[in-house]
Amino acid sequence: MLNYLSSKVKADRHILEFLLARGLKTESAIRDWINPEVNIPELMGIFPDMSKAVGILKEAVKAGGRIALIGDSDADGLCSLLILDDALSGTEKSLFVCGGPAHGIGEADIENVLKSKPAVVVSADVGISEHKAAKAFKERGIRFIITDHHYPSGEAAEADAVIDSCISHPDTEIAGCAAAFCLAAAYKLSLDKDFDKIKIACDIETSGLSPSQNEIIEIGAVRFSGFRVIDRFSSLLKPSSRISPEISVLTGISNLELEGAPCRVETLRRFREWIGNDTLIFHNAPFDTSFIDSEFRKYTGCALVNDVIDTLPMSRSCLPSQSHKLEHLKDYFGINAEAHRALPDAETARKLYMILSHFRTPAFKVFVEQNLPLAALGTVSDNIALKGTSRALVKKHLAGILNVRRYSLRTLIKKLAISRENPREELSRKLIPFLNAPKRMGEPRLALEILQADSKKNIAASFNRVKELNDKRQRDMRLHFEEVLTQIRENGLNKKPVIMVKAEKLPPGLRGPAASRISQIFGKPSVVFTASSFDWTASARGSGRDMLELFKKCGKGAEYGGHPGACGIRIKKDDLRQFIDDCETYFEDMPEQKIPRADIMWDDWLDKNIKSFLETLEPFGNGNPLPLFAAEEMDCVSVSQKGDKFLLRLKKNAKLLNIIAGEDPGCGVMDVIFTALARKKRIIFFLKSWKKK
Ligand SMILES: [Mn+2]
């Protein structure tokens, strides 16, 4: 396998070995990992309601109606709002964030939105479980578009269009802002002046490959304008002789069917008339047009003169590394179409054209450059697994946030002193906590206020207020988190398969961050509870486990929501004991998570090339943890204590490893599994486990 891949993919053997160990099996999966690309057409293709949603927006804008955007008030929700705001620039709109402490659109939020008298409400990073809001909008004849990336708790809320990957494509884990980006991008595309121009997507089936020797046996065509299908044409054509068995298998058309087919001449004349002067779209046009032209000349007396668009070269320029066969592209974009026959293939060509067209226009490029970084920022902020599209977004576009033109963001980046040196870490450490602080500290509207600011004057006051909140948040965290940790250690909670801790003094807004840190420290799923008068509310972090599934199984009668890696639950005080017991039993019954197994053996090459090795494989985080290396039979040269950690110097064959360990291992010879972290060009190694010899 390794040898085969080395011959196919240009990458060092160590990288291939590592990716194989991580479970990447196919050549294309490995290629995508080494060379990640955000594929906007692909991403847009996963939402079946996209055209409906765009239609609703366009209709409202045309009629001069107001659009209300309401988002979650965390960094993901805020980024989603900014992206939609940009796409809808120049239209009547109002922006809102959810004002309550819990995730969701509250009664007061609904009131606020209604007061703005919208024609359409678009939700961002929230909405799929908002039945009350959906009902309120419906009753008033307001159209409701949901963009979200959460699973609904129970039934999905009723909306006019739903853009939620959990509903249409659960395998694609993306942030709310990536879903919002897709709608925003689709809307932007629809503004192109050619967008509504009538076109016809066509496909033919033939009895062979040569227009001079073979014939058309079926024509399928779809006339459309924008996202709307106007008319369809579909007919078999009686061939002059029987078709070969190979062609029958290939096309799914039998000689029996063809015996009853309509007459060629008549069908070709009818088709000639039907297409009129409209532009024709084919996938691999020369093949189809040579047949149609030749048969038009033969049977109707005139050549094929219509303008022709070919989706094949479009596809080649949009997706350089992809197979461009219609069949493959169909799978690639998640285009639903039946078997390989003329009409379904014409339908696929139409959808493909819809996805690929206009992607090269300058205006759209600018939109993408300005907004993909926001989608990347939201993705990092929201604990999304760094795989596939989400990883590509972060790897390729996060740094672009430093070039975003929006005044408020530019100012924030300057004021928070975010350097260009290591933008990913700087943004995670400074900007994201800053944007999340207002929500966590109970003043969610402040962050939106800052982001909407367009002058020095109106940004100053809210900036200082958020800075105060952020400082207080950090103080609160320092103050209370130690206590939570002590409670975990004293009660041996860290020995359990899931760490469930009641943090009575922790401000509710810090539950999520506390759960994240607990999971990080102990490498286990965690659930952190805070209390109100009747309920316990908890935030959970999965650390590789599906916590939403846990809530589904154990949270009878409770309200919960979120995504597998990060979610929340509210539970009645009387039910808490039972809930904790059920959760612990649930995890005890699960097969134990394996002790980390090394991804790859440490050797001379890695010793020298560790930096480029790590750079190829980053960004690391949820879904893409730091690599684990194994080194066998290292001599422990020395141990020194530093705080509660131990610094080990290990040596084998003149190779030295500096390792930080949690306990004093005693000296001797040992096998180690460790992980490396590049920090300001120094590599630090953390010991994960060892064996004394
Ligand atoms: Mn989110």
Dump pLDDT digits (tens) for 177-198.
999 999 999 999 888 878 778 9
The residue that leads in pLDDT, 495 or 523, is 495
pLDDT at residue number 358? 64
- Residue 682, pLDDT > 70, answer no
**In this predicted model, what pLDDT tens digit does every residue of 519-549 receive, in sequence order?**
888 878 999 999 888 889 999 998 778 898 8
- 639: in domain: yes
From the number of C-beta atoms within 10 Å of its C-beta (0-12, 13-18, 19+), residue 38 rates as buried
* Same domain flag for 562 and 637: no
- 477: in domain: no
- 434: in domain: no
pLDDT at residue number 376? 97
- Close Cβ partners of 125 (under 8 Å, ≥ 6 residues apart): 71, 72, 74, 76, 77, 80, 147, 148, 149, 175, 176, 177, 179, 180, 378, 382
| 589 in Cβ contact with 130 (< 8 Å) | no
Q: 155 CA to middle of ligand 1, Å?
A: 19
Residue identified by tokens 């600011």 is 453
Q: 391 CA to middle of ligand 1, Å?
A: 16
112: domain CATH number is: 3.90.1640.30
pLDDT at residue number 23? 86
Q: 142 CA to middle of ligand 1, Å?
A: 24
Q: 509 CA to middle of ligand 1, Å?
A: 15
**In this predicted model, what pLDDT tens digit does every residue of 437-469 receive, in sequence order?**
999 888 999 999 999 998 888 898 889 999 999
Q: 151 CA to middle of ligand 1, Å?
A: 11
CA dist., res. 396 & res. 392, Å (int): 6
* Same domain flag for 231 and 170: no
pLDDT at residue number 21? 87
* Same domain flag for 219 and 342: yes
Q: 123 CA to middle of ligand 1, Å?
A: 12
* Same domain flag for 539 and 616: no
Q: 133 CA to middle of ligand 1, Å?
A: 18
Q: 378 CA to middle of ligand 1, Å?
A: 7
- Residue 117, pLDDT > 60, answer yes
- 435: in domain: no
**In this predicted model, what pLDDT tens digit does every residue of 571-612 receive, in sequence order?**
999 999 999 999 988 988 777 655 557 888 888 888 888 888
CA dist., res. 569 & res. 564, Å (int): 12
* Same domain flag for 140 and 244: no
CA dist., res. 291 & res. 523, Å (int): 63
Q: 464 CA to middle of ligand 1, Å?
A: 26
Q: 507 CA to middle of ligand 1, Å?
A: 21
Spell out the alpha helix ranges (H) of 382-406: 388-397
- 562: in domain: yes
| 224 in Cβ contact with 199 (< 8 Å) | yes
- Residue 319, pLDDT > 80, answer no
| 85 in Cβ contact with 93 (< 8 Å) | yes
- Close Cβ partners of 3 (under 8 Å, ≥ 6 residues apart): none
Domain boundary (589, 618, 644) is at 589
* Same domain flag for 126 and 231: no
687: domain CATH number is: 2.40.50.140
* Same domain flag for 179 and 87: yes
* Same domain flag for 204 and 286: yes
Mean pLDDT, rounded, of the chain:
88
Domain boundary (308, 331, 356) is at 356
- 371: in domain: no
Confidence of residue 306 (pLDDT cuts 50, 70, 90): very high
Q: 513 CA to middle of ligand 1, Å?
A: 14
Q: 170 CA to middle of ligand 1, Å?
A: 15
* Same domain flag for 276 and 210: yes
- 364: in domain: no
- 389: in domain: no
Q: 469 CA to middle of ligand 1, Å?
A: 21
Q: 105 CA to middle of ligand 1, Å?
A: 14
- The two three-digit tokens of residue 395, written as one number: 């790897």
Q: 450 CA to middle of ligand 1, Å?
A: 20
The proportion of the chain whose per-residue pLDDT surpasses 70, expressed as a percent, equals 94
pLDDT at residue number 335? 63
Q: What is the 3-state secondary structure (H, E, C) of 616-662?
A: HHCCCECCECCCEEEEEEEEEEEEEEECCEEEEEEEECCEEEEEEEC
* Same domain flag for 205 and 348: yes
Q: 382 CA to middle of ligand 1, Å?
A: 6
Q: 102 CA to middle of ligand 1, Å?
A: 13
- Best-predicted range by mean pLDDT among 212-221, 245-254, 672-681? 212-221
CA dist., res. 148 & res. 72, Å (int): 10
The proportion of the chain whose per-residue pLDDT surpasses 90, expressed as a percent, equals 53
Count of domains forming the chain: 5
* Same domain flag for 179 and 240: no
- Residue 318, pLDDT > 60, answer yes
* Same domain flag for 24 and 50: no
569: domain CATH number is: 3.10.310.30
Query: For residue 28, what are the domain limits?
Result: 2-33
Domain boundary (356, 374, 398) is at 356
Q: At what angle do helices 176-190 and 362-381 cross, to 10 degrees?
A: 170
Q: 541 CA to middle of ligand 1, Å?
A: 14
Q: 72 CA to middle of ligand 1, Å?
A: 8
Q: 26 CA to middle of ligand 1, Å?
A: 30
Q: 406 CA to middle of ligand 1, Å?
A: 22
CA dist., res. 151 & res. 560, Å (int): 10
What Rg, from alpha-carbon coordinates, does the chain have? 29
Name the pTM for this structure.
0.78
